[in-house]
Amino acid sequence: MAPLLIWLLSLIIIPHIDMFILSLQEKVAPRVYETGFSNYAEFFTEPLYWNTFARTALMSILATALTLLIGFPVSYYIAKMVRGRVRMVLFLLCMIPFWVSELVRTFGWMILLRETGVISSFLQYIGLTDGPIEFLYNDVSIMVGLVYTSMLFMVVPLVTTLDSLDNSLVEAGYDLGGSGFRVLRKIVIPHAMPGIVSGCIVVFMLSLGNYLTPVLLGGKDSLWFTEQIYTQFITRFNWEQGSAFGFLLLILSSLIVWAGLKISRQTLSNTMG
């Protein structure tokens, strides 16, 4: 009991409360503070912050959806279409990016996508284009990186839940006259729901809280909210503002996680534990 409480209280609960308190401090003069909501007001009045925030949320949702769309067929393939050794190997291959640092993965994409990078050179080599092309530093490259980084966290829960789906259920679905699509919609997806939800939650969290990918692949204008937080804390040393931003991000993520759980009628303990 004691280790749990110490850990939860001193590292999770109290720091967040403290952060909230700090976010309510207004700087009225050097080293003089008042309690108030001006940090939050600042957020709502300054369109840059507000836009960044919305943009981060939308991009994260989009990245989550894309990851699900791309990852589901692959998970299904691993869980149901292949067996034995092949399956083991494919599953392990999916895991590899996880065992490699996010930094390394992002670095790989930079090498591939940048102006002097592999893809650009390859296109020039086969004659599709005359000059080098910059694939980096745009929204698509951020998206590619986000989906790539999060893919594993979608595939692993999906494979696990799909694996537990009894083949005879699918067979029964067909036997009773269902089409492939109907079986997918009525049997496979409902069964995989816990996996889908937990995958989506984790992917969304990772995208929202990501810093590396937008900064490195999106360049200066990536406009990611975590960057704003970092800037407030480290560059401007405006911790009060940064805390407010952090708290807003926390609220946003909690809201979306909560909504996701509600819509799919799952609980946090079910999907995570």
Binding to another protein, residues 241-260 (CB under 8 A):
242-243, 246, 249-250, 253-254, 257
Provide the residue type at 188 as one letter. V
The enclosing H or E element of 107 equals: helix 102-113
- Give the nearest distance from C-beta 264 to another protein in angstroms: 15
- Give the nearest distance from C-beta 85 to another protein in angstroms: 13
DSSP label at 136? S
Q: What distance in Å separates the CA atoms of residue 154 and residue 144, rounded to the nearest whole number? A: 15
Binding to another protein, residues 16-75 (CB under 8 A):
16, 18-19, 22, 70, 73-74
Tokens found for residue 215: 């900064």
Binding to another protein, residues 103-142 (CB under 8 A):
103-105, 107-112, 114, 116-118, 121
How far is Cα of residue 200 from the mean position of the Cα atoms in its chain? 8
Tokens found for residue 65: 């959806």
- Give the nearest distance from C-beta 222 to another protein in angstroms: 13
Contact with another protein (CB under 8 A) among 48, 54, 58, 92 = 92
**Per-residue interface string for the shown chain with another protein, residues 172-211, x marking contact by CB under 8 A:** --x-----x--xx---x------------xx--x--xxxx
Dihedral angle sign, alpha carbons of residues 28, 34, 40, 44 = negative
Contact with another protein (CB under 8 A) among 148, 158, 161, 214 = 148
- From the list 267, 240, 269, 243, the residue with the least C-alpha distance to 33 is 240
